[in-house]
Amino acid sequence: MDWLHTWAGVLLGGLLLAVFWTGTLSVFDREIDRWMQPGTRLAEPPAVFSLDRLVLPHAKQVAAGAPVWDITLPTARMPAIQLDYHDPQLGRTRRFIDPRSGDLIPEQGSWGATRFIFPFHFSLHLGWRSIGYWLVGLAGMGMLMLVVSGVVAHRKLFKEFFTFRPRKRLQRSTLDLHNLCGVLALPFHVMISLSGLIIFFLIYFPSATDSLYPEGKQQFQLEALGVYSRLRADEAAPIASLDSMRRQAVEMWADRGPSAEPYMLRVWHPGDRHAYVEVRRSFAREMTMNVDRLIFDGASGALLHQHRTAPITGVQRFFTGLHFIQYDHWTLRWLYFAGGLCGCVMIITGLLFWIGARRERHARRGLLGARLVESLSVASSTGLILATLAFFIANRVLPMPGDNSRAALEGSAFFLVWLLALMHGAIRSKQAWGDQLWAIVAFACSAVALNWLSTGDHLLRSLNAGMWAVAGMDLMLLVLAGMSALVARRISQAEPQTPRLRQGYKHGEF
């Protein structure tokens, strides 16, 4: 099991880091969105507002020809009404509407975390034949295998867990930190990997529906997820009241608890006589991301179809909810964040330990292994953090009233800096760690400064005004800068001390 743990870790470590890092950030995707889309830094939404009055006029104007309108209701984390639709020129488009004034908030020109970091987490933005999904799935299975083999490889788990010697030789401390993070978050890592895989069971096991659904997957989705569909009539008809549909939904879900209310309305074929509206039930107060849906006729407002989550689909959606953590629970959200960071630290220390044990030996024998793994590790840890920070900085630097390519430019900044970090790692090898750690300090501080300069929301003001998302983001960036500086200092101190410490150490290499 030891060699399995070692090799699976070395081969999958970089990929796992990318998935863990973006997943950890996605825990706070809505908060990052507020930081990156300053126009949506609004106060908590009012309890009562009218979709008919606030949303429909805007939708008819900006998304007249769109086949589907997605209207997501505001929450404390996402205080604007969100309108998503497909624009023939711009592609997938998201607009925000202020639920107090009903104003259409100007185009924010940014994908934010929900449309860049979060999709990267499960698709790596590799669209071709969903290869990204399969790579992430492989990483997920690999992670489960690594956890199991890790428990076997580190037989004295309990003892190792209580052993942390940060002042010892760097290699020793690295392994201690690996064990500490691995054991501390072990249940979380098992849960998050397994639930992540279960979300995409249809992608990973297409064979599951093959024999039972000869008519195709759409039928499965209709039965399991209540996906209703009907063709356009190609005759115009005005749309019925969305507000009355919301009211009806609350009444019909009364048996599902006092807080059962819609969180999203999807209007299909708006303006057509065959328009229909799918009303989805919120899961803000429950773990299971239910698939309770009501379908109303778009023209008459009459109920066409209703769907309730079946028991086993409920279990699958429970795992989904466990992974997505979209319900209202701040303590848990922070714990998820900590668990994710533990995962990142565990993976990178594992890689560092492997490299540290081989760096000199491989260099002596002219082997490429350690050098190659080191530059890939640099790119997938400090390099990825730099890329993320470049994404944030680009967001604050690019001119605001930009055209639709602005959001894509932010994405390019991410990939460009990532590539540069990889090249830098390949050239500078061991020295790259220090360089990139100090670069992180500079990048993170400038992101905070740029947020202040471009929006005026400096830390004191955001804390005072209760803009927790913005304040939290700035604070976390500063914490990141501080931690990076500490680590950079620690590794630069470690180097000259190594020979002295080694004298008293029995196993030079293990």
Partner 1 sequence: MRAVPGKLFLWRRRIAIAARLTAAFGGGYVCTAALVGSGALLLTLLGGLPRSEAVTLSAMLGFVLYLLLLIWSFTEPKLWRVCALPLAGVLLGTALNYWLAPALTARTLVGY
Residue 194, interface with partner 1 (CB under 8 A)?
Answer: yes
CB 149 within 8 A of CB 4: yes
CB 372 within 8 A of CB 355: no
Residue 227, interface with partner 1 (CB under 8 A)?
Answer: no
Amino acid (one-letter) located at 381: S
Residue with smaller CB distance to partner 1, 214 or 499? 214
- How many other C-beta atoms are found inside a 10 Å radius of the C-beta of residue 415? 13
In whole angstroms, the minimum distance from the beta carbon of 180 to partner 1 comes to 24
CB 267 within 8 A of CB 240: no
Contacting residue, 133, 161, 188, 201, with partner 1 by CB under 8 A: 201
Contacting residue, 22, 26, 82, 209, with partner 1 by CB under 8 A: 209
Residue with smaller CB distance to partner 1, 211 or 503? 211
Residue with smaller CB distance to partner 1, 151 or 426? 151
CB 79 within 8 A of CB 467: no
Task: Find the angle CA(426)-CA(432)-CA(436) to the nearest 5 degrees.
Answer: 120
Residue 367, interface with partner 1 (CB under 8 A)?
Answer: no
Q: What is the DSSP letter of 110?
A: -
Amino acid (one-letter) located at 86: H
Alpha-carbon gap, residue 112 to 465, rounded angstroms: 22
Stretch that binds partner 1, among 59-67, 140-148, 244-252, 484-492 (CB under 8 A): 140-148
In whole angstroms, the minimum distance from the beta carbon of 207 to partner 1 comes to 4
Alpha-carbon gap, residue 444 to 488, rounded angstroms: 15
Amino acid (one-letter) located at 488: A
In whole angstroms, the minimum distance from the beta carbon of 510 to partner 1 comes to 17
In whole angstroms, the minimum distance from the beta carbon of 209 to partner 1 comes to 5
Residue 145, interface with partner 1 (CB under 8 A)?
Answer: yes
Size of site (CB under 8 A) for partner 1: 32
Residues with Cβ < 8 Å from 8, sequence gap 6 or more? Answer: 142, 145, 146, 149
Residue 2, interface with partner 1 (CB under 8 A)?
Answer: no
Alpha-carbon gap, residue 121 to 26, rounded angstroms: 8
Residue 403, interface with partner 1 (CB under 8 A)?
Answer: no
Residue 509, interface with partner 1 (CB under 8 A)?
Answer: no
Residue 141, interface with partner 1 (CB under 8 A)?
Answer: yes
Contacting residue, 315, 423, 427, 453, with partner 1 by CB under 8 A: 315
Joined tokens for residue 419: 């590539």
> What are the b/e assignments for 276-303, b being 16+ CB within 10 Å?
bbbbbbbbeebbbbbbbbbbbbbbeeee
Residue 207, interface with partner 1 (CB under 8 A)?
Answer: yes
What does the longest C-alpha to C-alpha distance in the chain come to?
A: 86
Residue 409, interface with partner 1 (CB under 8 A)?
Answer: no
CA-wise closest residue to 346 among 3, 16, 124: 16
Residue with smaller CB distance to partner 1, 148 or 494? 148
Backbone φ/ψ region at 341: left (φ over 0), alpha (ψ -120 to 50), beta: alpha
Residue 253, interface with partner 1 (CB under 8 A)?
Answer: no
Residue 198, interface with partner 1 (CB under 8 A)?
Answer: yes
Residue with smaller CB distance to partner 1, 141 or 449? 141
Residue 337, interface with partner 1 (CB under 8 A)?
Answer: no
- Which element (helix H / strand E) includes 91? strand 91-97
Stretch that binds partner 1, among 71-79, 179-187, 192-200, 333-341 (CB under 8 A): 192-200
In whole angstroms, the minimum distance from the beta carbon of 289 to partner 1 comes to 14
Stretch that binds partner 1, among 79-87, 174-182, 204-212, 352-360 (CB under 8 A): 204-212
Residue 288, interface with partner 1 (CB under 8 A)?
Answer: no
Stretch that binds partner 1, among 111-119, 145-153, 322-330, 481-489 (CB under 8 A): 145-153
Residue 224, interface with partner 1 (CB under 8 A)?
Answer: yes
Amino acid (one-letter) located at 125: H
Contacting residue, 105, 135, 148, 409, with partner 1 by CB under 8 A: 148
| Residue that is written with structure tokens 């830390």 in the block | 459
Stretch that binds partner 1, among 39-47, 48-56, 198-206, 337-345 (CB under 8 A): 198-206
Pairing of strands 91-97, 276-281: unpaired
Site for partner 1 in 442-471 (CB under 8 A): none
Residue 310, interface with partner 1 (CB under 8 A)?
Answer: yes
Residue 220, interface with partner 1 (CB under 8 A)?
Answer: yes
Residues with Cβ < 8 Å from 114, sequence gap 6 or more? Answer: 29, 30, 33
Measure the CA dihedral 210/229/64/282, to 10°: -90
Joined tokens for residue 155: 């037989």
Contacting residue, 197, 385, 387, 477, with partner 1 by CB under 8 A: 197
Stretch that binds partner 1, among 191-199, 324-332, 437-445, 479-487 (CB under 8 A): 191-199
Residue 149, interface with partner 1 (CB under 8 A)?
Answer: yes
- How many other C-beta atoms are found inside a 10 Å radius of the C-beta of residue 131? 12
Joined tokens for residue 229: 């569909």
Measure the CA dihedral 298/299/305/306, to 10°: 50
Contacting residue, 133, 213, 228, 327, with partner 1 by CB under 8 A: 213
Residue 144, interface with partner 1 (CB under 8 A)?
Answer: yes
CA-wise closest residue to 29 among 119, 99, 125, 98: 119
Binding residues for partner 1, rule: CB under 8 A, are: 1, 4, 141, 144-145, 148-149, 194, 197-198, 201-202, 204-213, 220, 223-224, 310-313, 315-316, 319
